[in-house]
């Protein structure tokens, strides 16, 4: 059974800048330590990725999978789901919600729901989820604020 986890972080950049980094899938291995390779498999007519293939090694989770992406018209919400079960996952659904904060800030809320194909004790599963989400948000913040430093 899939559990859903949600975490938020404030980033010192505009929502458009945050969304630009999230949508630049090919560069994920440059700043996301768990990502070994990322390939955009299909794109929508507007150039945004529709399907993306990931190879991940997060220690507790080593896997290869493809996600289908959908975007809000203003890119304030980016959501995805697992195209087909993988070696480690039965399902994966997630989203980034990006809201403006102040004049030049954003709050990013990351929601992730994963149903693993392998059994994992609840205590270890929650710890792994927290570690993966913490790392993902902190690495996103670091990348965005490095690319778009405040003047």
Q: What is the pTM of this model?
A: 0.90
Give me the CATH number covering residue 64. 3.30.530.20
Quote the pLDDT of residue 132. 74
Q: Tell me how many domains the chain contains.
A: 1
Q: What tens digit of pLDDT does each residue of 111-145 get?
A: 998 887 776 655 555 666 676 788 889 999 999 99
Rounded to a whole number, what is the distance in angstroms from the first to the last CA of the chain?
46
Domain span holding position 112: 5-147
Q: Are strands 105-116 and 35-43 parallel, antiparallel or unpaired?
A: unpaired
pLDDT, the chain, mean: 89
């Amino acid at each position: 059974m899939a559990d859903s986890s949600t975490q938020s972080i404030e980033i010192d950049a505009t929502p458009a800048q945050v969304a630009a980094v999230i949508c630049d899938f090919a560069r994920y291995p440059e700043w996301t330590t768990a990502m070994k390779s990322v390939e955009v498999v299909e794109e929508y007519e507007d150039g945004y990725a529709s399907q993306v293939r990931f190879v991940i090694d997060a220690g507790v989770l080593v896997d290869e999978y493809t996600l289908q992406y959908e975007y809000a018209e203003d890119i304030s919400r980016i959501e995805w789901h697992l195209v087909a079960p993988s070696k480690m996952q039965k399902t994966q659904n997630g989203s980034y919600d990006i809201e403006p904060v102040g004049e030049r800030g954003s709050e990013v809320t990351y929601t992730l729901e994963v149903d693993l194909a392998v059994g994992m004790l609840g205590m270890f599963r929650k710890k792994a989820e927290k570690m993966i989400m913490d790392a993902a948000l902190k690495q996103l913040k670091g990348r965005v604020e490095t690319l778009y430093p405040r003047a």
